[in-house]
C-alpha cells in the first residue's frame, strides 16, 4: 500500500538511504533536513525535499502541517535526524549538552506531536524512532549522546502506550555500527586539550571510533533502510528492531551481564585499544 512518509535527517546516511528505498517502493516521501541542497538525489528519484531545522519548533510544525494539507494524510514519520556530542562529562559545556538533547530528543518530540493529530483522525499511522544500540549500552565520553538515546527508548515506550488506542504504531530502530557521516557530524573535542585529565581516554576513544570506519567493521545504511521498510510495511510491526554490525550481539551481552560485569568488559576493551 502506498504511504505518505516523512523522513528527518534525509540529507545523508540512514535517512537518505531510507528515503531512497521508500521512494523506490512507490511511497510518497518527503525528506526533511537543514541542508536541502544535499537532497538533490532524493528529488531526482521522485521524492520531495523540505527544509526543517528540528531546533526551530515553530518551523517543524508549520512545514509538517503543509505536507499534511497537501497530501490529505500522513502515514509514517521516520525520526532519524541526530548527532553525537563526545567528551568527558566534566568538560562538555551546558550549551553542547542542551543542543544534543534539543536535536536528538526534543526536536524529535515536536515532529511527532506535529503528525499525531492527523494520525489520530485517520486512526492509523506509524512513528519510527531511530535510536541506537547506544540507547541500551554505554561507553565513556558519550554521556549526553547516551542520555538522548536512553531517553528516546523510554519516551518511545510511553508514546506507544498512549497512542495504541488510536491505531498508531510506535517502532524503535536500534542500529549497530553503520557507515554514515555520523563521525564527521560529531560535536567532539577529543584530543584537543593536552592538559585534560581525560586525554589518555580520549586518544583511545578516538582510535575506537576510527576503527569503526574500516572495511568489515560496519554495515551500509541500506541495512537499516530495509529494516525500516520492513517495519512500516508490516501489519503488526515489532516494537523494536536491532540491525547492523554488532547490534544484536551487543544488546544480548548487555542483557546478560550485570552493570559491573559490563563495565569490566568495556574497560578491558579500552585497555586493549590503549596498547595498540
Catalytic position from the list 86, 131, 179, 189: 131
CATH architecture, range 4-274: 3-Layer(aba) Sandwich (3.40)
The pLDDT tens digits for 48-84 are 999 999 999 999 999 999 999 999 999 999 999 999 9
- Integer Cα distance of 55 and 107 in angstroms: 6
Q: Which pLDDT does position 128 carry in this prediction?
A: 98
Least confident of 18-27, 120-129, 206-215, 236-245: 206-215
Summary count for the chain: helices (H), strands (E): 10, 9
- Inter-residue contact 207 to 181 (CB < 8 Å): no
Q: Which pLDDT does position 254 carry in this prediction?
A: 96
24 assigned to active site: no
Q: Which pLDDT does position 68 carry in this prediction?
A: 98
2 assigned to active site: no
Q: Where are the alpha helices (DSSP H) in 164-246?
A: 199-211, 221-232
The pLDDT tens digits for 91-145 are 999 999 999 999 999 999 999 999 999 999 999 999 999 999 999 999 999 999 9
Catalytic position from the list 3, 16, 48, 149: 149
Sketch the domain layout of the chain as residue ranges. 4-274
Least confident of 176-180, 249-253, 261-265: 176-180
DSSP conformation letters of 250-266:
HHHHHHHS-HHHHHHHH
Residue that is written with C-alpha cell 555500527 in the block: 177
- Inter-residue contact 204 to 273 (CB < 8 Å): yes
- Give the up-direction half-sphere exposure of residue 255: CA atoms within 13 A in the CB hemisphere: 7
Catalytic position from the list 86, 138, 145, 241: 145
- Inter-residue contact 225 to 20 (CB < 8 Å): yes
The pLDDT tens digits for 152-169 are 999 999 999 999 999 999
- Inter-residue contact 85 to 96 (CB < 8 Å): yes
Q: How confident is the model at residue 214 (pLDDT cuts 50, 70, 90)?
A: confident
131 assigned to active site: yes
- Integer Cα distance of 202 and 89 in angstroms: 12
Nearest to 241 by CA among 80, 109, 128: 128
- pLDDT for residue 149 is more than 60: yes
Helix (H, G, I), strand (E, B) or coil at 267: helix
11 assigned to active site: yes
pTM: 0.94
Amino acid at each position: 500500500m502506498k504511504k505518505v512518509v516523512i523522513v528527518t535527517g534525509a540529507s545523508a546516511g540512514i535517512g537518505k538511504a531510507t528515503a531512497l528505498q521508500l521512494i523506490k517502493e512507490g511511497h510518497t516521501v518527503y525528506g526533511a533536513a537543514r541542508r536541502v541542497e544535499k537532497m538533490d538525489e532524493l528529488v531526482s528519484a521522485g521524492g520531495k525535499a523540505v527544509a526543517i531545522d528540528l531546533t526551530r519548533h515553530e518551523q517543524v510544525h508549520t512545514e509538517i502541517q503543509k505536507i499534511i494539507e497537501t497530501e490529505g494524510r500522513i502515514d509514517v514519520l521516520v525520526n532519524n535526524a541526530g548527532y553525537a556530542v563526545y567528551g568527558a562529562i566534566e568538560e562538555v559545556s551546558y550549551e553542547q549538552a542542551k543542543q544534543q538533547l534539543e536535536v536528538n530528543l526534543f526536536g524529535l518530540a515536536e515532529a511527532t506531536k506535529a503528525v499525531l493529530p492527523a494520525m489520530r483522525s485517520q486512526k492509523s499511522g506509524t512513528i519510527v524512532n531511530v535510536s541506537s544500540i547506544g540507547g541500551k549500552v554505554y561507553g565513556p565520553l558519550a554521556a549526553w549522546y547516551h542520555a538522548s538515546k536512553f531517553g528516546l527508548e523510554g519516551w518511545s515506550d510511553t508514546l506507544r502506550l498512549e497512542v495504541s488506542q488510536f491505531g498508531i504504531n510506535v517502532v524503535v530502530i536500534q542500529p549497530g555500527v553503520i557507515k554514515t557521516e555520523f563521525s564527521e557530524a560529531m560535536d567532539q573535542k577529543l584530543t584537543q586539550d593536552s592538559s585534560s585529565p581525560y586525554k589518555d581516554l580520549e586518544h583511545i576513544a578516538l582510535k575506537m571510533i576510527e576503527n569503526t570506519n574500516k572495511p568489515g567493521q560496519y554495515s551500509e545504511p541500506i541495512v537499516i533502510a530495509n529494516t525500516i521498510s520492513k517495519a512500516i510495511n508490516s501489519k503488526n510491526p515489532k516494537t523494536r528492531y536491532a540491525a547492523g554490525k554488532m547490534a544484536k550481539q551487543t544488546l544480548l551481552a548487555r542483557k546478560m551481564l550485570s552493570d559491573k560485569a559490563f563495565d569490566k568488559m568495556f574497560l578491558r576493551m579500552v585497555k586493549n585499544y590503549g596498547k595498540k
